[in-house]
Amino acid sequence: MEKIHPLWDDIMPALRAWRKSFEEAQQLSGNETEPSVTLVAEQYKQDPWAVLASTIVSLRTKDEVTLGVSKVLLEKAPAPAKLLELSEEDLSRLIYPAGFYRTKAANLKKIAAILIERYQGQVPADMDALLELPGVGRKTANLVLIEAFDLDGICVDTHVHRISNRTGWVSTAHPEQTEQGLREILPQKYWKSINALLVLYGQRICRPISPFCSQCVISDYCKHCGVTRSR
109 is catalytic: no
Number of C-beta neighbours around residue 62 at 10 A: 13
Q: Output the smallest distance, CB 221 to ligand SF4, in A.
A: 8
Active-site residue (options: 9, 157, 192, 220): 157
CA distance 130 to 126: 6
* 53 or 205: CB nearest ligand SF4: 205
Residues that bind ligand SF4 (CB under 6 A): 163, 166-167, 205-206, 211-213, 216, 218-219, 222, 224, 227, 230
* 94 or 156: CB nearest ligand SF4: 156
* 14 or 67: CB nearest ligand SF4: 14
Q: Are 51 and 144 in contact (CB under 8 A)?
A: yes
Q: Output the smallest distance, CB 162 to ligand SF4, in A.
A: 8
* 125 or 213: CB nearest ligand SF4: 213
* 100 or 190: CB nearest ligand SF4: 190
CA angle 165, 167, 169 (to 5 degrees): 65
3-state secondary structure the chain: CCCCCCCHHHHHHHHHHHHHHHHHHHHHHHHHHCCHHHHHHHHCCCCHHHHHHHHHHHCCCCHHHHHHHHHHHHHHCCCHHHHHCCCHHHHHHHHCCCCCHHHHHHHHHHHHHHHHHHHCCCCCCCHHHHHCCCCCCHHHHHHHHHHHHCCCCCCCCHHHHHHHHHCCCCCCCCHHHHHHHHHHHCCHHHHHHHHHHHHHHHHHCCCCCCCCHHHCCCHHHCCCCCCCCCC
157 is catalytic: yes
Active-site residue (options: 104, 109, 139, 192): 139
Q: Output the smallest distance, CB 132 to ligand SF4, in A.
A: 36
Residues marked as catalytic: 139, 157
